[in-house]
């Protein structure tokens, strides 16, 4: 699709204030997704747009949104209690960035009559309600959970009444909204919105769930699919690399790369599989890269995420350690490298992660570390996501540096039990996440050397975990000095005091506080499951009995309460058995023929 100038859009033309702000943002040409979707939305069409990450989707809906609100304002001015546009995004970070883009437009004097408000989790919903009632915003940028709560909350706000004049609903990163389990929430929100609205749905990938949402929320939509090249799913200016490394060498290879000429002056994002991994490496890495600003962010952080992202934006050579919470929703054009500690949990996440670089016509690079047994992932990614990975032509670090690095890690953990605890949590959570990989046909936990993987985390000893009973863990390298794990102390005074109290209790009672005693005899899995099923069946029977009782009362009056039960225990047992058979049929555990036979429904 050819690139057009913003000023060339003449059906209908863009208003002067919108064009002026776009020029201030130094965007001369429209991206393909903007060229395709803006005229459609301005022509009052519902649009479902699929475009690769970093392709300019935000302006593709912000510009027509403002034009539509201006058009309505010229006919009937917006009132403080009217919401004209809703933008729903999956994460706070993305919502904040959309709000920042909107702010640049609304600062123009000719657009100052429009007001917007950011409505996301992390703060008091009562404060949001007060702010909405005081400011009377015409545009809401929100996350789905908080928006649903506002609709359902009984208060003087009455958000459902405020959206009756809604002009445009935008569902940004719709596939991510559904990945995070917001399908029911989105459907609940749609029930509050007027049918005469226009809807724009934007996503990087089209999934079955997105298709279902299109059917439910859009009326005769125009489907737009924009890709920079038909053969790839990632930005054209992105170079994708991979490097095969042993599990025990992964950290020293990462350090070696960060210190190399390729990356020492670059702004970098490093993706880890779990929050615990980010917590651990964020404390460790500054000790090895003292000249760089190392930042960490993950989904369990609530109030600090905004401050961390602001620091990352301002620092030219910052390194940001993160989880998939930032696989989308972070628009920092200056990111030079995206590094992945290991392959993500699903192939689509790979595309979203590397899409944090090579944005807004900038060049970028991405690197993923693979274990020797993971080399098939290169071919898999080419087939599944049309992403070509090239081997990184770079000298590997010296194997001798491994022992030096391990010695430092071992001493750091021996000096602080808090760091040792974080290391264990990071390793265990990593292995657990790996075992749930969607690509488990080629990324199999049984092929991973857990000993080498634990060495890579610098653990003082192999932790106790079920996987060690059956999987290989022979190549673990422990500390070169004697260390007693039970006598490690915390640097944190409060934690150390609590530990000493537990030790004292243990010496007096012989039982560690908070640790449950093991049962001498345990039931088999089959018996436990049967007990659960029986309990569930009894619960359903009680529920059915209550419903019958209410029906009797409704039909015969309150005296029905004194009537004797009409069912014998034999009847109830038979009913319970019928319920179990029906559940088996529903779960395809028995055939319909066997079900009919057991229920006595066979044809004569």
Cβ pair 97, 58 in contact under 8 A:
yes
Give domain status of residue 439, yes or no: yes
| Whether residues 48 and 145 fall in one domain | yes
**pLDDT of amino acid 230:** 44
What mean pLDDT comes out for the span 340-344?
A: 96
Percent of the chain scored above 90 by pLDDT? 56
The per-residue pLDDT for 560 is 46
Q: Please say if the pLDDT value at position 499 is more than 80.
A: yes
Angle between helices 208-217 and 183-192 (to 10 degrees): 10
Clarify whether residues 456 and 365 are in a common domain.
Answer: yes
Would you state the pLDDT for residue 213?
A: 84
CB neighbours (10 Å) of residue 256?
18
CA dist 102 and 62 (Å) reads 7
- Choose the final residue of a domain: 465, 491, 517: 491
CATH number at residue 42: 3.40.50.300
Q: Is the per-residue pLDDT at 601 higher than 70?
A: no
Poorest-confidence range of 146-155, 159-168, 548-557?
548-557
Q: Which helix (H) or strand (E) holds 96?
A: helix 92-106
As for how many domains the chain has, the answer is 2
Q: What is the mean pLDDT of the chain?
A: 87
E strand or H helix at 73, and its extent? helix 57-75
Q: Which two tokens stand for residue 57?
A: 């989707």
Picking from 303, 329, 299, the residue whose alpha carbon sits closest to that of residue 176 is 329
End position of a domain, from candidates 174, 208, 226:
226
Residue 378 lies in a domain: yes
C-alpha dist (Å) from residue 376 to 274, 372, 381, 442? 23, 9, 9, 7
pLDDT at 350 over 70: yes
Residue with the larger pLDDT of the pair 143 and 535: 143
φ, ψ (nearest 5 deg) of residue 137: -70, 150
Higher pLDDT, 601 or 407: 407
**Tens-place pLDDT, residues 517-529:** 555 445 555 566 5
CA dihedral 589, 591, 596, 597 (to 10 degrees): -90
pLDDT band at 604 (very low <50, low <70, confident <90, very high): very low
**What sign does the CA torsion over 572, 577, 578, 583 have?**
positive
Residues 202 and 251 in one domain: no
Helix ranges restricted to H, 346-449: 347-354, 376-385, 400-415, 417-435
Mean pLDDT of all residues in 241-249: 95
Same domain, 88 and 194: yes
**Given this model, what pLDDT does residue 521 score?**
47
| pLDDT tens per residue across span 265-303 | 999 999 999 999 999 999 999 999 999 999 999 988 877
Residues 442-456: what's their mean pLDDT?
93
Provide the residue range defining the domain that includes 301. Answer: 231-491
Q: How many CA atoms does the CB half-sphere of 54 hold within 13 Å? A: 28
**Per-residue pLDDT at 10:** 67
Lowest mean pLDDT segment, chosen from 332-346, 352-366, 501-515, 530-544: 530-544
Residue 202's SS3 state is strand
Count CB-CB contacts under 10 A for residue 534: 12
pLDDT (0 to 100) of residue 529: 58
pLDDT of residue 463 exceeding 60, the answer is yes
pLDDT digits (tens, 9 = 90+) for 193-202: 999 999 999 9
94 and 238: one domain?
no
The pLDDT of 357-368, averaged and rounded, is 88
Cα gap 482→537, rounded to integer Å = 56
Residues 287 and 151 in one domain: no
Domain boundary among 456, 474, 491: 491
């Amino acid at each position: 699709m050819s690139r057009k100038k913003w000023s060339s859009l003449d059906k209908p033309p863009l208003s002067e204030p919108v064009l002026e702000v776009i020029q201030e943002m130094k965007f001369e040409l429209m991206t393909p997704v903007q060229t395709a979707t803006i005229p459609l939305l301005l022509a009052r069409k519902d649009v479902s747009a699929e475009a690769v990450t970093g392709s300019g989707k935000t302006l593709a809906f912000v510009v027509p949104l403002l034009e539509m609100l201006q058009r309505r304002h010229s006919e009937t001015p917006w009132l403080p209690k009217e919401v004209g546009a809703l933008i729903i995004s999956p994460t706070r970070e993305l919502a904040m960035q959309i709000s920042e883009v909107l702010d640049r437009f609304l600062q123009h004097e000719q657009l100052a009559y429009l007001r917007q408000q950011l409505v996301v989790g992390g703060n008091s919903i009562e404060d949001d309600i007060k702010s909405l009632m005081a400011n009377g915003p015409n545009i809401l940028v929100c996350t789905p959970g908080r928006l649903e709560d506002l609709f359902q909350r009984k208060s003087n706000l009455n958000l459902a009444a405020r959206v009756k004049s809604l002009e445009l609903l935008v569902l940004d990163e719709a596939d991510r909204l559904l990945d995070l389990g917001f399908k029911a929430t989105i459907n609940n929100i749609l029930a509050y919105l007027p049918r005469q609205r226009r809807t724009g749905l934007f996503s990087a990938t089209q999934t079955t769930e997105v298709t279902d949402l299109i059917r439910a929320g859009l009326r005769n939509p125009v489907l737009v699919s924009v890709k920079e090249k038909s053969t790839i799913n990632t930005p054209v200016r992105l170079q994708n690399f991979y490097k095969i490394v042993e599990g025990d060498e992964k950290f020293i290879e990462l350090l070696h790369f960060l210190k190399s000429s390729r990356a020492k002056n670059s702004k970098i994002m490093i993706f880890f599989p779990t929050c615990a991994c980010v917590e651990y490496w964020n404390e460790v890495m500054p000790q090895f890269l003292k000249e760089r600003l190392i930042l960490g962010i993950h989904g369990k952080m609530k109030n600090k995420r905004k401050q961390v992202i602001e620091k990352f934006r301002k620092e030219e050579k910052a390194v940001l350690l993160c989880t998939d919470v930032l696989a989308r929703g972070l628009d920092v054009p200056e990111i030079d490298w995206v590094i992945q500690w290991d392959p993500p949990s699903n192939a689509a996440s790979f595309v979203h992660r590397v899409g944090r670089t090579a944005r807004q016509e900038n060049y970028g690079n991405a690197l993923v570390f693979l274990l020797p047994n993971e080399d098939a992932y290169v071919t898999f990614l080419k087939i599944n996501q049309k992403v070509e990975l090239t081997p990184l032509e770079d000298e590997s670090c010296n194997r001798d540096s491994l022992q030096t690095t391990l010695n430092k890690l071992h001493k750091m953990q021996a000096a602080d039990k808090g760091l040792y605890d974080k290391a264990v949590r990071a390793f265990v959570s990593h292995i657990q996440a790996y075992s749930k990989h969607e690509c488990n046909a080629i990324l199999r936990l049984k092929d991973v050397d857990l000993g080498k993987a634990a060495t890579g985390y610098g653990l003082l000893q192999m932790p106790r975990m079920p996987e060690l009973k059956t999987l290989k863990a022979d190549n673990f390298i422990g500390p070169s000095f004697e260390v007693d794990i039970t006598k490690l102390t915390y640097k944190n005074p409060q934690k150390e005091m609590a530990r000493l109290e537990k030790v004292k209790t243990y010496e007096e009672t012989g039982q560690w506080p908070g640790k449950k005693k093991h049962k001498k005899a345990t039931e088999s899995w089959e018996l436990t499951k049967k007990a659960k099923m029986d309990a569930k069946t009894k619960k359903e029977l009680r529920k059915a009995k209550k419903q019958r009782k209410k029906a009797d009362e409704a039909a015969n009056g309150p005296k029905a309460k004194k009537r004797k039960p009409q069912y014998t225990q034999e009847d109830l047992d038979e009913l319970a058995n019928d319920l179990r058979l029906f559940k088996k049929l529903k779960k395809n555990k028995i055939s319909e023929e066997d079900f009919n036979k057991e229920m006595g429904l066979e044809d004569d």
